[in-house]
Structure 1
Amino acid sequence: MSNRINKVLKGMPASDGAGVNLTRALGQPALKYIDPFLMLDEIKSDDPNDYIAGFPPHPHRGFETLTYLMHGSMEHNDSTGGHGLINSGGVQYMTAGKGIIHSETPKQDQGLLWGFQLWINLPSTEKMVDASYVDIERTDIPTLNLNNQEDGKITSAQVKLIAGKFNNSDETGPVKRDDIDLQIYDLTNAEKSALPIKIDTDAQGYLYVYQGSVEAEGKTINETHIAEISTTSEQDESSIKLTMAENTGVLLAVAKPIGEPIVQYGPFVMNTAEEIETALRDYQSGRLA
């Protein structure tokens, strides 16, 4: 049986927007992307100087963003006239498609702001669709309370289903990408627990430990570390067992790869350099959105 956990890396400190301090786990030089995932950033600070400037208007083309806010409040405005507010526990799912210009601004001037932004690629046939977005309230994200028996002891964990199904549950997360069988979970526990997770064969992605630590496939993944995941059809089973230390939190994202060339220039992700040049011209001339 081949290993399902590949490289493990520490997220790197970064700054984006108008000076927002964050941790970049995916999208760093040592781990540029895991098809179809392009980026994972974590913002976590109770110092307003780290986040108050927010993300002024900026463009995107060719992919999707998913913003998951654990604590705090963020406001969204965009070139389509869209306006939204993400509160604690909520998600915003945005398809940039052929182009959008948007801003993301903290709606708080003090206290903890803690959340994640994931970038997810689109196939070439979908890169030029109309831009759209949806705000998802905390109450619309299913939460599963799980019990698992390990060495005669029953351990428990909680799973928030952002996308896909979890193991044999009938519940499905509100974010849909059927073309890549997208699965995104927020896994938490209070005491040490063992949690088996079924993953589609021939899928890949990552788990990011945002609190505590995890043992998986003989590897230790500590806080602010990301582990690359992959499964193949040759494996006799497609599941990973996570042994989570007490008070641990994990963001897990896996999907089928798109398998197309990825050419990225900042906020533009296309298939060819020529398409990137077109995106730049469209943005500079005001035709992007």
Structure 2
Amino acid sequence: MMGRLAVTGATGRMGQEVLAAVADRADLDVVAAVNRGGAEADGDESATIAGVDIEPAADLESILAEREVDAVIDFTGPESCVEYARACAATGTAFVTGTTGLGEEQQAALQAASEETAVLQAANFSKGIAVLRSLVREAAGTLDDYDVELVEAHHNGKRDAPSGTANSLLDDIDAVRGESERVHGREGEAPRSEGEVGVHAVRAGNVTGLHEVWLAGGHEELRLSHRAESRGVFAEGALDAASWLAGRDAGWYDFDDVLEGGA
């Protein structure tokens, strides 16, 4: 059976990517797409995207119940992400979100929703990023006396900095080295301190996503990097997650669970 899917933030960058990508899927069917204020909220005069009608996000909970939606994919903002998670919790609908920049209370609300339904949160739905994180953990642990710097770049409309993926990479480094001092950019007289990790966020143009970790010793330098060429890679990963998560027990999941094919 095809999973019944709903997409939030349907007129946004990633919402449109998800709606375009799902057309090639045999395992998922979009039965609802919502946006705050309907299609016009982002200046889109059309009431449909990729052949799907755009409806007001305020109606999401009733839509989920009436159309027996199996999973929701969300790439919006922290406030709306929490609202949509609560609607999913109320209806027992699996919730997949790539929204980043959540505060502590918002993250706690997402965790609370996972007590009622299956919730999967990932800062990045790229398989390549999953491999990069593994390599960064290995390199940072093996080269434990090397200096580490992280550079990430995204489009000029991205709200949070560092990116959620960058923060995940920093957490990976801390996991093998212990908690580091994160220095965000440098200016003036700023000699490097032992154990610090430099973090540099670039926001320009329409950059899809670049993450690069530098490890430098006295006589050599290792760079591990990933560049996303299209947002489609994130949409495909989120669709894989939604297909995998639908029908699972309430609880907290991450993208590694999908890649490992856990039961």
TM-score, with structure 1 as normaliser: 0.26
Q: Comparing both chains, which one has the higher relative contact order based on Cα–Cα distances under 8 Å and sequence gaps of 6 or more?
A: 2
TM-score, with structure 2 as normaliser: 0.28
